[in-house]
Structure formats: C-alpha cells, structure tokens
Structure 1
C-alpha cells in the first residue's frame, strides 16, 4: 500500500523525555565512550602497551613497538513503525505519538544493552547485531555463582578488573541487572558495614563505593532481546573500553497511509558497538536466579 512521507526525520532533543528514558534505561547509552559515526563503518584506533627503557649516558634510545590495530564499528539500525488511526489522534486527550515514542525508548534501551553487553550469540548483523562484552570476554574475566551472590563473589569479580592493566578509578563503573538489588542489601563486610548503599535524592547507588547503573537488558540471551530471560549479569570495569558508535537518532518520522485514515509513525536509532579491551572488565553471572 502506498504511503506518503509528510516530513523529514526529526531528531529527539537531548533534554526530551524520549532521550531521558533511553539514558535512564540503557547503561550503554549513558556510560559508554561515544564516537560520532560519519559513515556506516568506522575504525577506532587501538594501541597496545608501550615499554619504557632505561637509557645509559650517551646511548641510543630504543624504539617502542606497541602492537596497534583497529576496532571496527558497523552501524546497525534499531527501528519500529506504529500505525495510528486518525481518530486516535483527533479524539483523545492523550498524546498518542509521544506515548509510543517513550515506550519505544524503554524497549530500545533494553535491547541495545542486551546486544552490547549480554548477548551470547555470534555477531551476524541481524539478530545478533554486535559482538557483545560477554562474548568478547575470556573465561578469566568471568565468574559464576549458582544463585548465591556473596561478598566473596563480588570481591573476586572486582579483583578480576582491578588486577588487570586497564583499571582506572575515575572510569570504573558497575552495571547490573536489577535482580541483584535484593542480594546486595544483605551483604556486609567483616566489620558489619553494608557494601551496597542505595542512592538517595538523585545520587547513584554504590557497590564498594563505585556507582551502580541498572539495566533490564543485562540477562544473557542467544539473540538480542528487549526482554531477555537468561542469567543475570553484573559487570565491573572501565567504561572507556565500551565504544558506542552514534550514526543517527533517536529520531522519528511521520507518514500517511493514503488509502485509509491512518498515520504511520516510524522511530529509529542507528548505532555501532564494540569492546576495545575485554580484559578491562570482570563479569559475575548468576546461573540459578539472583
């Protein structure tokens, strides 16, 4: 059926409710190192470790020879259309378009986080849009617990990250599925002090003094999902090594169905994602319910 486009794509403003909902529900959108993508594919330079030598008086300097490569980001499009009856636009006090946009933002946030952090499948550009952090990380970056989230498990997960080459207090973040909250509240250190402090009056919650961000996308799933049902994940690491490519969006487009009294709302976001150093993270996976 023929549809007429009525206007150009309209980007959401950064202070809009839609963008706010995305940021509130997506740890990737809120925390990752953002790179503007001027094309559908970009290369992000990645430099290896550099050795420092001692130089004797009058001696020649030795060249540093780091292993350099590139992280390649490819744009993937997240989008949905909504068919809206003209009567719903004319006859209701509710802002139908805004309602659809905001609900889309929540689902998009969860699906992006799942695709970027928790998806277990191999990247195929479709149902698995990216190689996730979970997929990138080796066995040495992951711990598992069969249901019981303990002080020792949390401490060991932090130790995986803190013992690596990319730990940096200024950029350290914790990302977790909200199901961890119940377990956190009962965990104390050897002096009886809680390791988890819930945020008040707009301040973030903290775990071992590190800000915690929550996402319903942080459960494992074989393909990208906005309602994953696998194992809950907690991730601690350096946020600078989560690379989010921003090609366009979040943005909307309104069209008209010519043969009927209907409007077509299209909402999309175009993103790339990659992990520059998987060893910059520690992952705790709950294998039998949090």
Structure 2
C-alpha cells in the first residue's frame, strides 16, 4: 500500500535539539566520552599497553618495545522505544505531546546508557547486558594487560556512609597507575554520594567535597564530579537501577563511545495502513551505541 507520511528516521541536530541537550545534561557518558564514529555494526579500536623508553648512547642501537598491542571491539547496540499517540492528543495545541514524549525518552536513555556503560555486573550478552561495563571490566582478570580482577574496586564497609579512608583508597588506585592524568581525571558518581560526602573531612578537618554553584562543577579531592543517576549497580541495564551507588574515577580519553546513529526518531501516521483502524499514530525513538573502556588500570570504582 502506498504511503504518504513522514516515515523516515530523522536525526536530532546537536546544535539546537532539546533532546540532545537533555541527554548531555543527564548522561555523563554521552557528555564526556571520546566519541568514535562507527560506519558499521562493529569497529575495532586500537589499544596499547604502553611503550617503554631507554637511554640510547651515541651511535647505539634502539631497543625495541615489547609492550602488548591489541584492540577493543565496539559493537553497536540499539536503545529504543515506541509510543502510541492518540490523534486527539497530537492535535491538542496546548500540549506538544510528541515533544514531551521525545524529552521523556531522552531522559530515560541518558540514565540507561550510563548504567549500561558503568555499573552493570555480568558478562555482556548484547541484550539485557549490552556492553562490558566499567564495573565488570574492573572485576575481570586480564593477564595480557597485567590486571587482576577487583584490584581497582573499593567497597565501603558501610552501605550508608563511606569513610575518608575509603574515598582516599579508591582514588589512589588510579592515581598510582600508568594511566593517571590529573588534567583529565573525572569522578562519575550517583547523587546518593552527595549526602555522605558533605560530612567527610581529612585529618586537618578540611572537607574533601566542594559543592559549587551553577556553572562550576563540584569537586572531590580536587577532581571534578559529574553526577549520574545511572551510576548504581544492577544485574541488567536499566534506566532505574536499584543497587548500591558507585563513584567511578575515570579518564574520559579512555571512555570509548561508539556512535552508529541517533538519537533519531520516526513518526508513523495513524491515518495510513492497518493502523488507520484506530485514531493513533506511533512515535519511535532510538540511538545505536557501542562502548568500551580503554584500559582497566586507568579507572577505579568506589562502591558506596
């Protein structure tokens, strides 16, 4: 049957879209990660375990580096949802139901992409666990990279209030590694940490947490904090995780976010095709993303 509708995926414009603005405000991963353009469903991104350096005498031979060279694989996973909209609501000039649904989807997507990328436990299966999250990466031994599973994860003894020592131990895990970059380091944390951080002081009774005003990021130990509602542990990717909150100390250059497509939407008019049996149209929203963290030694997590 011939169609005369707007049934084509329309990408959101990054410069002015309220959907994009909402996602970047809520999602730490979308806002901070290194964006890798993907021309297909999968993309291999080079990763190196580093490169050594020697003193070379005048006329002497250069020593050859033996560090491991490998790659990480980004696989595009689709995050989407469809909304069935009554024609009466679409025609309502008071409330823009289509825009409202798109903004609602963007907020849920922002929380889910952070949760999937940072805090899901368990091996990736491409569906309920779309990626190997940062938490799972740090829980897994990788002999090729010389990393022992769990080494960079600190779990607070009390689920309520982590201590100064526990915060300090967690950030020290990454500060002592070869991938520490003080100019780029960011802490991504669930807002549940705000209350516990307010009372934490060092040995000289100085607060480790500075709450700053609008336009100035909060800091902990002098490191910028980016708050994320997706930064709670869960067994599957979700926009409403219910596990223990985490604070991840990361280098955004090692956060690899594959961009295959979207966010984008398609509107299917209810006046055409079989859907014409009801006065309803369908709005679909989606984004296709891949994720990997470059090296486990370049991150640390505190489980609150």
**Superposed CA RMSD:** 1.5
Q: Secondary structure at the match of 1:6?
A: coil
- Give the drift of 1:11: 1.1
Aligned residue in 2 for 1:282: 300
- Give the drift of 1:66: 2.6
Q: Distance in 1 between matches of 2:108 and 2:175?
A: 33
| Aligned residue runs from structure 1 range 137-152, under 5 A | 137=138, 138-145=149-156, 146-147=158-159, 148-152=161-165
Q: Distance in 2 between matches of 1:35 and 1:127?
A: 23
Q: Distance in 2 between matches of 1:261 and 1:6?
A: 17
Q: Distance in 2 between matches of 1:259 and 1:6?
A: 19
Q: Distance in 2 between matches of 1:225 and 1:254?
A: 25
Q: Distance in 2 between matches of 1:29 and 1:248?
A: 13
Aligned residue in 2 for 1:18: 19
Judged with a 3 Å threshold, the aligned counterparts in structure 2 of structure 1 residues 244 and 52 are, in CA distance, closer, same or farther, namely same
Segments of structure 1 that go 5 or more residues without pairing to the other structure are none
Aligned residue in 1 for 2:142: none
- Give the drift of 1:191: 2.4
Aligned residue in 2 for 1:73: 74
Greater Cα shift, 145-154 or 32-41: 145-154
Q: Distance in 1 between matches of 2:290 and 2:5?
A: 27
- Give the drift of 1:201: 2.6
Q: Secondary structure at the match of 2:151?
A: helix
Aligned residue in 1 for 2:145: none
Q: Distance in 2 between matches of 1:266 and 1:57?
A: 66
| Aligned residue runs from structure 1 range 21-60, under 5 A | 21-60=22-61
The 8 Å contact of residues 4 and 258 in structure 1, kept in 2 or not, is answered as no
Higher strand share: 1
Moved over 3 A (4+): 2-5
Q: Does 1:103 align with 2:104?
A: yes
Q: Secondary structure at the match of 2:108?
A: helix
Judged with a 3 Å threshold, the aligned counterparts in structure 2 of structure 1 residues 237 and 91 are, in CA distance, closer, same or farther, namely closer
Segments of structure 2 that go 5 or more residues without pairing to the other structure are 139-148, 270-274
Q: Does 1:244 align with 2:262?
A: no
Match of 1:271 among 289, 298, 304: 289
Q: Distance in 2 between matches of 1:122 and 1:47?
A: 23
Q: Distance in 2 between matches of 1:82 and 1:4?
A: 20
- Give the drift of 1:92: 4.5
Report the number of matched residues. Answer: 285
- Taking structure 2 as the reference length, the TM-score comes to 0.90
Q: Does 1:168 align with 2:181?
A: yes
Q: Distance in 1 between matches of 2:35 and 2:119?
A: 19
Q: Secondary structure at the match of 1:149?
A: coil
Q: Distance in 1 between matches of 2:261 and 2:3?
A: 23
Q: Secondary structure at the match of 1:99?
A: helix
Q: Secondary structure at the match of 1:246?
A: strand
Q: What is the CA deviation profile of residues 37-91 of structure 1, one whole-angstrom value per residue up to 9, with x for unaligned ones?
A: 1111101011222121222333222222331111110000000000000001113
- Taking structure 1 as the reference length, the TM-score comes to 0.94
Q: Distance in 1 between matches of 2:19 and 2:60?
A: 61
Q: What is the CA deviation profile of residues 172-193 of structure 1, one whole-angstrom value per residue up to 9, with x for unaligned ones?
A: 0000011000011111222222
- Give the drift of 1:205: 0.9
Aligned residue in 1 for 2:144: none
The 8 Å contact of residues 119 and 224 in structure 1, kept in 2 or not, is answered as yes
The 8 Å contact of residues 111 and 227 in structure 1, kept in 2 or not, is answered as yes
Aligned residue in 2 for 1:223: 236
